[in-house]
Amino acid sequence: MDHYKTLGLSCDATKEEIKVAFRRCAFEFHPDRHTHSTDSARELAVSQFKKASEAYGVLIDDSKRAGYDRIRSGGGFRGVSRGPYSNYNNYGYSAGTGAGAGAVPGYRTSAGIQWDVMFRYMTSRRFALNVFYASAFLCGTILIETTGKSLWEMNNSGKSFEDAMESIETVKSQKDDQ
């Protein structure tokens, strides 16, 4: 999506021109103005309003605009490959130098890992709950295994499991013969 085309501006537009263009788009596409329109017209207006809002948010902020212009011109960032999420949430960051520290959020590093996405997931409540449940399951399994083994050794001292199964089979066959 080209933010300049969305607002109908040239690349050298001033902040005042950006504000005027956004107000024009907001006035034309604001969802409140399309409450009585058809569903398709209302969806189109909402979509255009969101695009205009995003474009305004990027172009009005000098650092985001500089990052956007750098990406738009094809310069990209040194040492970082562009991934499918390269146009989102990474305006205004300095150039990365590869994997690890300094990598630009939203970009895949040379290893193909999106570190910002991984960090957000690992610090989420869902991840913490998954770790808790996995550790509870693992501890429960270990507890059952050791408890079962201890109980077996207490009740069947000196016998192996195979010996116990043989004696059970022997007792069953003796009962069947009677």
Would you tell me which CATH number, out of the four given (3.40.50.300, 3.40.47.40, 1.10.287.110, 3.30.365.10), belongs to the domain 1-60? 1.10.287.110
The pLDDT value recorded for residue 97 is 43
**Contact yes or no for 90/67 (Cβ under 8 A):** yes
**Contact yes or no for 106/116 (Cβ under 8 A):** yes
Least confident range from 49-53, 101-105, 130-134, 174-178: namely 101-105
147 three-state secondary structure? helix
The pLDDT value recorded for residue 81 is 43
Least confident range from 103-112, 129-138, 140-149, 169-178: namely 103-112
| Domain assignments of the chain as residue spans, ordered by start | 1-60, 125-177
The pLDDT value recorded for residue 103 is 43
Would the pLDDT of 85 be above 90? no
Least confident range from 15-24, 36-45, 70-79: namely 70-79
Look-up of token digits 């630009």: 104
Q: What is the mean pLDDT of residues 114-122?
A: 78
Mean residue pLDDT across the chain: 78
**Cα–Cα distance, 52 to 174 (Å, whole number):** 87
The pLDDT value recorded for residue 36 is 86
Q: ∠ at Cα 74 (70, 80), nearest 5°?
A: 85
Would the pLDDT of 99 be above 70? no
pTM: 0.43
Q: ∠ at Cα 110 (106, 113), nearest 5°?
A: 50
Question: Which bin fits 130, alpha (ψ -120 to 50), beta or left (φ > 0)?
Answer: alpha
Nearest of 28, 9, 27 to residue 17 by alpha carbon:
9
**Cα–Cα distance, 87 to 150 (Å, whole number):** 59
The pLDDT value recorded for residue 89 is 46
Distances (CA, A) of 123 to 102, 119, 128, 129, 135: 19, 6, 7, 11, 17
Maximum alpha-carbon separation in the chain:
103
Would the pLDDT of 108 be above 70? no
